[in-house]
Amino acid sequence: MAPAFWAQAPRQVSIALTNICDLSCAFCYAPKNRASLNAATVIAWIRELDANGCLGIGFGGSEPTLYRKFPALCKWVTEQTQLAVTFTTHAHRIDERLAAQLEGYVHFIRVSMDGVAATYENLRNRPFGTLQKHLRIVRQLAPFGINFIVNSRTFPELDCAIQLAAEFGAREFLLLPEQPVRAGGGIDEATLQALGDWIPAYAGPLQLAIQALAKYQILSTKYCSQKHKNRRKAVYGFDIWLIVIY
């Protein structure tokens, strides 16, 4: 494509608002300190992105709901820009009070759910039943998807997790092969191969996506793009990403 047709801004930008988190997952890549971005700096970035045609902003961290005045920031973006607002969260802080503050100011939520039942509880040190309670609040707040770390412990529960996510009303399911972080070695070759065999046979209820790993080539089997006139309602979807091992 000729440079004249290139967009001036990325379609979507993710901003890690803070390194603060109230969990301590072994596979988390975020630095473990209490650093947070200055709100004025974040707003300046967002103004520039909006002015140049960016479609959406995704807030993450560690845990973005621990960022000071997080609801106020989401409100400002929604009211003062044309950007869609999304964020990634473990969901345990989304209670009725926070949901009321965010209502109308968030367009999509990504919830981290690694394994089910005892596996989830061992990895995240939080009751799985409590996550389910918060998912009921999340689904009333905004459309949501699930982020699922794939490793040897969670892969056997993949079908169960997808079925559960569908029952709670998730729109999509993102597979995240575990990355090597600090003491963690990342997803092992056998599990990665099993995941590669599982994906083409998938016929479940949710749209799938998979995050690329540096040493693997990712192919999209069916990529489609539908852009509404209102940038906030822009939709860019895909059906299944295949992982090709070489």
- Six-digit token string for 189: 């070759």
Amino acid found at 120: Y
The answer as to whether 231 is a domain residue is: no
> Number of structural domains, the chain?
1
Check: CB of residue 211 under 8 Å from CB of residue 177: yes
pLDDT, one tens digit per residue, over 19-67 is 999 998 888 888 878 899 999 999 999 999 999 999 999 999 999 999 9
The answer as to whether 82 is a domain residue is: yes
pLDDT, one tens digit per residue, over 70-128 is 999 999 999 999 999 999 999 999 999 999 999 999 999 999 999 999 999 999 999 99
Check: CB of residue 128 under 8 Å from CB of residue 164: no
The structure's pTM equals 0.85
The answer as to whether 246 is a domain residue is: no
The answer as to whether 137 is a domain residue is: yes
- What is the CATH classification number for the domain harbouring 206? 3.20.20.70
Report the pLDDT value the prediction gives residue 183, as an integer from 0 to 100.
64
Higher pLDDT, 139 or 24: 139
Can you tell me the distance from the alpha carbon of 169 to that of 139, in angstroms, rounded to the nearest whole number?
A: 7
- Sort 197 into a burial class: Cβ within 10 Å, 0-12 / 13-18 / 19+: exposed
What is Dmax (Cα atoms) for the chain?
Answer: 53
The parent domain of residue 162 ranges over 10-23+32-211
The answer as to whether 3 is a domain residue is: no
The answer as to whether 245 is a domain residue is: no
**Per-residue pLDDT at 231 exceeds 80:** no
Share of the chain above pLDDT 70, in %: 83
The answer as to whether 236 is a domain residue is: no
Please spell the DSSP secondary structure of 92-160, one letter per residue: TT--HHHHHHHTTS-SEEEEE--SSHHHHHHHHSS-HHHHHHHHHHHHHHS-EEEEEEESTTTGGGHHH
The answer as to whether 80 is a domain residue is: yes
Report the pLDDT value the prediction gives residue 229, as an integer from 0 to 100.
33
**Taking Cα atoms as reference points, which of 103, 41, 104 lies closest to residue 67?**
41
Can you tell me the distance from the alpha carbon of 105 to that of 77, in angstroms, rounded to the nearest whole number?
A: 8
- Run of H or E residues at 189: helix 189-201
